[in-house]
């Protein structure tokens, strides 16, 4: 039975045979969004999926926009409301124990004079996403600060609003502090200058009359994941890589997207057509390897835009490593081979990150790291664990235990994490590749349908 079909009282406890877990949420980078392939993602979304798996049930999402969310919150036709919420958002509703801690901060362009005191907001215009906790913080401050103008933005998401800040279209934005590192990937001129609220807990809301058994199960689940590493692994998936690139690195990369990528894009897209790997990921690998220089050569004679060794080039049938078309396709095909060797049973994106580590240090050293992980009682099939194990290959007391040679495993970790950041940036700034068949199908559909982030724990 769905939430819309239920007419009276609190929703029944979700059971595999009869009832899904009904979750009220709203779109946002921390809560619920869709990628270019239609896959649903978000830190809270993944946590909800883990909780539903714990219960053995499915999930029905009720996704509300900023205008509808608060009214749906009051109607109570859900088991959990998960939209990066604080108990203060609706004190009449019961809540789970805190999952994270958060604060609202003022963001501005680093070229502007920083505001360091709330009183300096007098006479300023400050933007926030409509219906958000940050908008509520601003409205409270507007009752204390003279001529503080609050603008609630209902279109796009907070990253769009922060990009407008970076482009000089708005002067001040209030954002959740947990988003700062993620946002800095896309807006390197972002500067958070002033904390506007005290730290507050982030919770799931249970409604005014929650199911007692569900509340107890949610409480136990949250306490367990904070102790057993589940929460840390989920956080790493979204934020583990976002603190490595310096501002200058991001600025340079964005410049190369404009200046150099256009003449190479066709080669990356051709490689996707052959291998199925997102061309933006292939481009991210190539940028980290060579900064998109087809003539790049290292002191170890690794060469070309994908920095292939002679052995790999021979294996992939490359006649000229300095030919970008040959090098890009060979690098993408080699990554697919490594993904197969890593194992089909490993879920994405871990499978790809592990394969990229093998791309950097070679499959022999990578397999040695997997053996070491088992010796040390760690999992060898997820990136969160392996990025802790790989640097140990540089220490004799570890690599001698598995009868291996020394390897610069720490460099592999840096490579993977940097590529993840470059990939994030390209996904936001470059469209996915559409083959000719995809374009024809898309056009036919249009004709047929008419016009058309440093998390703190309590």
Ordered domains of the chain (ranges, CATH) = 21-100+201-239 (3.40.190.10), 104-197 (3.40.190.10), 247-429 (1.10.530.10)
Give yes or no for a contact between 296 and 324, defined as CB atoms under 8 angstroms apart: no
| Residues labelled catalytic | 289
| DSSP secondary structure letters along 90-111 | -TTSEEPSPSEEE-EEEEEETT
* DSSP 3-state of 200: strand
Q: Which of 132, 182, 138 is nearest to 159 (CA)?
A: 182
Q: Which of 99, 279, 77, 104 is nearest to 180 (CA)?
A: 104
Average pLDDT over residues 252-277: 97
Beta strands 21-25; 40-41: pairing state: unpaired
Element (H, E) at 204: strand 200-207
Average pLDDT over residues 257-278: 97
Residue 292 Ramachandran class (φ > 0 left, ψ -120 to 50 alpha, else beta): left
User: Tens digit of pLDDT for each residue in 55-69?
Assistant: 999 999 999 988 888
Residue 167, C-beta contacts closer than 8 angstroms, at least 6 positions apart: none
Give yes or no for a contact between 8 and 22, defined as CB atoms under 8 angstroms apart: no
* DSSP 3-state of 432: coil
User: Tens digit of pLDDT for each residue in 378-426?
Assistant: 999 999 999 999 999 999 888 888 888 888 899 999 999 999 999 999 9
Q: 411: exposed, middle or buried (C-beta count within 10 Å: 0-12, 13-18, 19+)?
A: middle
pTM: 0.83
User: Tens digit of pLDDT for each residue in 83-100?
Assistant: 999 998 888 899 999 999
Does residue 293 have a pLDDT over 70?
Answer: yes
Average pLDDT over residues 18-47: 89
User: Whats the size of the chain, residue-wise?
Assistant: 458
Burial 133-160 (b: 16+ CB within 10 A, else e): bbbbbbeebeeebeebebeebeeeebbe
pLDDT of res. 6: 45
Average pLDDT over residues 24-34: 91
């Amino acid at each position: 039975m769905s939430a819309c079909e239920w007419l009276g009282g609190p929703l029944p406890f979700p059971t595999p045979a009869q009832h899904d877990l009904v979750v009220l949420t709203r779109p946002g980078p921390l809560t619920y969004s869709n990628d270019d392939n239609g896959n649903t993602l978000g830190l809270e979304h993944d946590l909800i999926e883990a909780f539903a798996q714990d219960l053995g049930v499915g999930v029905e999402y009720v996704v509300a926009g900023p205008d509808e969310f608060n009214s749906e919150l009051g109607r109570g036709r859900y088991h959990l409301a998960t939209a990066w919420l604080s108990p203060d958002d609706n004190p009449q509703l019961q809540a789970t124990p805190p999952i994270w801690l958060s604060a609202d901060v003022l963001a501005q362009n680093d070229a502007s004079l920083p505001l360091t005191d709330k009183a300096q907001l007098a006479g300023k215009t400050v933007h926030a996403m409509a219906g958000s906790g940050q908008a509520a913080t601003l409205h409270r401050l507007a009752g204390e600060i003279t001529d503080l103008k609050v603008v609630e933005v209902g279109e796009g998401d907070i990253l769009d609003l922060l990009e407008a800040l970076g482009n000089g279209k708005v002067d001040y934005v209030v954002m959740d502090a947990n988003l700062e590192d993620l946002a800095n990937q896309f807006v390197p001129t972002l500067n958070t200058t002033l904390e506007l609220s005290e730290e507050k807990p982030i919770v799931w809301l249970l409604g005014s009359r929650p199911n007692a058994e569900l509340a107890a199960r949610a409480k136990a689940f949250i306490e367990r994941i904070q102790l057993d590493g589940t929460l840390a692994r989920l956080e790493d998936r979204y934020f583990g890589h976002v603190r490595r690139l310096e501002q200058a690195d991001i600025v340079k990369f964005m410049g190369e997207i404009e200046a150099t990528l256009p003449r190479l894009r066709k080669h990356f897209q051709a490689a996707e057509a052959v291998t199925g790997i997102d061309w933006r990921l292939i481009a991210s690998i190539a940028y980290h390897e060579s900064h998109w220089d087809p003539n790049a050569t290292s002191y170890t004679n690794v060469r070309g835009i994908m920095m292939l060794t002679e052995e790999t080039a021979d294996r992939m049938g490359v006649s000229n490593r300095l030919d970008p078309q040959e090098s890009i396709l060979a690098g993408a095909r080699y990554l697919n081979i490594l993904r197969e060797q890593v194992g089909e049973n490993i879920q994405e994106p871990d499978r790809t990150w592990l394969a990229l580590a093998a791309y950097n240090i070679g499959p022999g050293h990578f397999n040695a790291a997997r053996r070491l992980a088992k010796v040390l009682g760690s999992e060898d099939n997820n990136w969160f664990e392996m990025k802790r194990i790989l640097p140990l290959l540089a220490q004799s007391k570890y690599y001698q235990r598995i009868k291996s040679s020394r390897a610069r495993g720490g460099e592999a970790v840096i490579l993977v994490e940097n590529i993840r950041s470059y990939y994030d940036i390209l996904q936001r700034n470059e469209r996915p590749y559409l083959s000719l068949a995809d374009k024809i199908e898309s056009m036919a559909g249009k004709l047929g349908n008419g016009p058309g982030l440093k998390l703190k724990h309590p």
